[in-house]
Amino acid sequence: MIMFKGIAASKGIGIGRVLIVKEQDLTYEARTVIDTHAEAERFSAAVAKFTADTEKKAENIEKSVGQKEAEIIRGHILMIQDPFMMGEIEKKIKDGDCAEKALDEICSMFSAMFMSTGDELTMQRATDIEDIRKGLLSILLGREEADISSCPCGTVIAVGDLTPSMTAGINKENIAAIITETGGYTSHSAILARALEIPAVLSVDGILSKLSGGQEIIVDGSKGVVIDNPSEEQKAEYSAKREKYLADKEALRAFIGRKTETADGAVVELCCNIGKPSDVHNVTESDGEGIGLFRTEFLFMDSASLPSEEEQFEAYSKVAKAMNGKPVIIRTLDIGGDKDVPYLGLESEDNPFLGYRAVRYCLSRPDVYKPQLRALLRAAVYGDIRIMVPLVTTVEEMRQVKTLVEEVKAELESEGIEYKKDVKIGAMAETAAAGVIPDLLAQECDFFSIGTNDLTGYTMCVDRGNSKVAYLYSAYNPAVLRMIKNIITEGKKAGIPVGMCGEAAADPLLIPMLIAFGLDEYSVSPTSVLAARRTISQWGVEEAKALADKVMALRTEKEVREMLEANAKN
């Protein structure tokens, strides 16, 4: 037995036999063509076939998963039809390059361009380009693409990089799990694996050279663990875990359409976090009661230039309309730290998490911030949009944002443009400062939403991504718990609603603490809605308070975690 670790990209447990999907041989001999016209036609025919094949795959995915996922595949058609890219390839063919070489070189050029941005989302486009390159080359060379649609039931696919088009060919009944050597949690392949509900562990270093085809293997997509050649005991242990996972998933369906309330009937709100307008579909499907955090920076990161007021208005109003009057909390641009937007030209800093970011950047750049505020006020006409300000550390910051909002309102008024006059403005409570002066900030805010991802980092002085100090990055630390309690208590004392949109809001161990502190709104990822609703339903307020009293008297993270674990309901 050998155990490997990777990124837990899609939950669930798969047990089966390995199929190593080898890279296709796409080598070719570059040649100079004389009849460039015929070569251009050969290339067009390959594009037409690629487009037809891709559309077929997209239809497949649309039926088995959904429209949104199919759009990822259809994106390839749009990319290959991009006049600039096509024009560059055709130009090379006209100059005498064979279609394979022209395609190869232009795809490499685009790929390098996307990779050089260093931005995760833009870099994913390089994977799409690579997918297009391989698909077209295999057509031009007449070599069949690896067919994984007909593998036997219980197959665990091991592949270098699972491309979106390969994922689209998967027959979900037959694939027990997926393992890759590269790719991150937010890669398109990971998104598709989650949508197909196939357990997946990604980025397992050098795994292909360590596995043999046909061997038995266990993939725990919830923990990011792969066990090659498992013992009988391990197979029995993981089969039982798998049964439990599936039964649990089924049981959660009973919570669809239910109110979110504690065992003794205290009703709270259970909303979702989203990054793109198209994610709204996941919110309605998972029965979220609103949007507690729309991270607008993805609109900016996903675009090659600053999105205009109009584009932003479209995005925000689309979400507001789709949510049909339910609350939609939209966070204003939160860039800097680990989120770079290349065209904004932010200088690199020694301590980016302590630097020029989020509200600090926005207040110094009204030319960037005002169009966003205008778009938000205009879109608010179409639903219950509320504006949330990230990384607030001082009272002045909130006052300045509100002054800017008033300025924007006056401008819209004088321009005769429709907007909503009484949009609520709140702060993300996610800094140590906010945790210490919530009473002062509450006087300036219509609501708070606690961002425990950053609050944990800024309280413990730990960078979320640094594995050397990861042991300190835990919301179970008494320091973080006191911050959370303080923010909720002071917010409520001031009479404003307090929510939480950091990952802790979905943590079943912390939920009783949040109930005890009186949290009004929980905002979690769409996939966690039903589990959170169930955990909330299992606790009575008094019972949660009794546990919280004991927990708040503890002195170490370990003691807290152990007590919460010992009292967990399932």
CB of 220 to Mg ion, least distance (A): 29
Residue 501 touching ligand PEP (CB under 6 A) = yes
Residue 454 touching Mg ion (CB under 5 A) = yes
Query: 């891709």: which residue's tokens?
Result: 54
Q: Which does 426 bind (CB under 5 to 8 A by kind): ligand PEP, Mg ion, none?
A: none
Helix H, strand E, coil C: the string for 300-353 is HHCCCCCCCHHHHHHHHHHHHHHCCCCEEEEECCCCECCECCHHHCCCCCCCHH
The sheet that has 225-228: what strands, in order across it? 2-5, 225-228, 216-220, 13-21, 155-159, 175-180, 200-202, 7-10
Is 188 a catalytic site residue?
yes
Q: Toward Mg ion, which CB reaches closer, 397 or 430?
A: 430
Residue nearest to Mg ion (CB): 454
| Among the listed residues 260, 393, 452, 477, the single contact to ligand PEP using CB under 6 A | 452
Q: Which does 131 bind (CB under 5 to 8 A by kind): ligand PEP, Mg ion, none?
A: none
Contacts of 66 (CB under 8 A, 6+ apart): 195, 281
| Among the listed residues 292, 327, 451, 457, the single contact to Mg ion using CB under 5 A | 451
Q: Which does 501 bind (CB under 5 to 8 A by kind): ligand PEP, Mg ion, none?
A: ligand PEP
DSSP 474-485: -TTSHHHHHHHH
Q: Toward ligand PEP, which CB reaches closer, 92 or 295?
A: 295
Residue 526 touching ligand PEP (CB under 6 A) = no
Q: Toward ligand PEP, which CB reaches closer, 76 or 295?
A: 295
Q: Toward Mg ion, which CB reaches closer, 454 or 490?
A: 454
- Going by C-alpha positions, the residue among 250, 247, 206, 246 that lies closest to residue 228 is 206
Q: Toward ligand PEP, which CB reaches closer, 295 or 485?
A: 295
CB of 56 to ligand PEP, least distance (A): 37
| Among the listed residues 502, 533, 539, 548, the single contact to ligand PEP using CB under 6 A | 502
At 537, list the tokens: 């339903």
Contacts of 161 (CB under 8 A, 6+ apart): 127, 130, 180, 181, 182, 183, 189
- Catalytic residue, chosen from 107, 188, 271, 272, is 188
CA distance linking residue 434 with residue 392, whole number of Å: 7
At 481, list the tokens: 């718990």
Q: Specify whether the CB–CB gap between 227 and 3 falls below 8 A.
A: yes
Write phi, then psi, for 491 (nearest 5 degrees).
-60, -45
Residue 90 touching ligand PEP (CB under 6 A) = no
Q: Which does 452 bind (CB under 5 to 8 A by kind): ligand PEP, Mg ion, none?
A: ligand PEP
Q: Which does 295 bind (CB under 5 to 8 A by kind): Mg ion, ligand PEP, none?
A: ligand PEP
Contacts of 35 (CB under 8 A, 6+ apart): none
Q: Applying CB under 5 A, which part among 97-105, 269-277, 366-374, 444-452 lies near Mg ion?
A: 444-452
Count of residues of this chain found to bind ligand PEP when the rule CB under 6 A is applied: 10
CB of 470 to Mg ion, least distance (A): 18
| Among the listed residues 183, 383, 451, 526, the single contact to ligand PEP using CB under 6 A | 451
Residue 430 touching ligand PEP (CB under 6 A) = yes
Q: How many CB atoms lie within 10 A of CB 24?
A: 15
Residue 336 touching ligand PEP (CB under 6 A) = no
Q: Which does 502 bind (CB under 5 to 8 A by kind): ligand PEP, Mg ion, none?
A: ligand PEP
Q: Toward ligand PEP, which CB reaches closer, 135 or 337?
A: 337
Alpha helices in 330-470 (DSSP H): 358-364, 366-379, 395-415, 432-436, 438-442, 452-460
Q: Toward Mg ion, which CB reaches closer, 242 or 331?
A: 331
| Among the listed residues 97, 131, 340, 454, the single contact to ligand PEP using CB under 6 A | 454
Q: How many helices (H) and strands (E) does the chain have?
A: 23, 16
Q: Applying CB under 5 A, which part among 236-244, 256-264, 320-328, 427-435 lies near Mg ion?
A: 427-435
Q: Toward ligand PEP, which CB reaches closer, 453 or 537?
A: 453
The pairing of strands 327-331 and 448-450 is unpaired
Q: How distant, in Å, are the alpha carbons of 61, 152, 165, 178, 196 from that of 170? A: 9, 11, 9, 10, 9
What residues between 267 and 326 interact with ligand PEP by CB under 6 A? Answer: 293, 295
CB of 319 to Mg ion, least distance (A): 19
Q: How distant, in Å, are the alpha carbons of 9, 164, 551 from that of 191? A: 8, 9, 37
CA distance linking residue 459 with residue 487, whole number of Å: 13
Q: Toward Mg ion, which CB reaches closer, 277 or 451?
A: 451
At 102, list the tokens: 């022209």
What residue ranges in 152-198 does DSSP mark as E strands? Answer: 155-159, 175-180
| Among the listed residues 453, 489, 537, 538, the single contact to ligand PEP using CB under 6 A | 453
Q: Specify whether the CB–CB gap between 329 and 291 falls below 8 A.
A: yes
In angstroms, the first-to-last Cα distance of the chain is: 30
Residue 507 touching Mg ion (CB under 5 A) = no
Question: What x/- string results for residues 366 through 405 when contact with ligand PEP is judged by CB under 6 A?
Answer: ----------------------------------------
By CB atoms closer than 10 A (0-12, 13-18, 19+), residue 21 is buried
Is 281 a catalytic site residue?
no
Q: Which does 180 bind (CB under 5 to 8 A by kind): ligand PEP, Mg ion, none?
A: none
Binding site for ligand PEP (CB under 6 A): 293, 295, 334, 430, 451-454, 501-502
Binding site for Mg ion (CB under 5 A): 430, 451, 454
Catalytic amino acids?
A: 188, 501
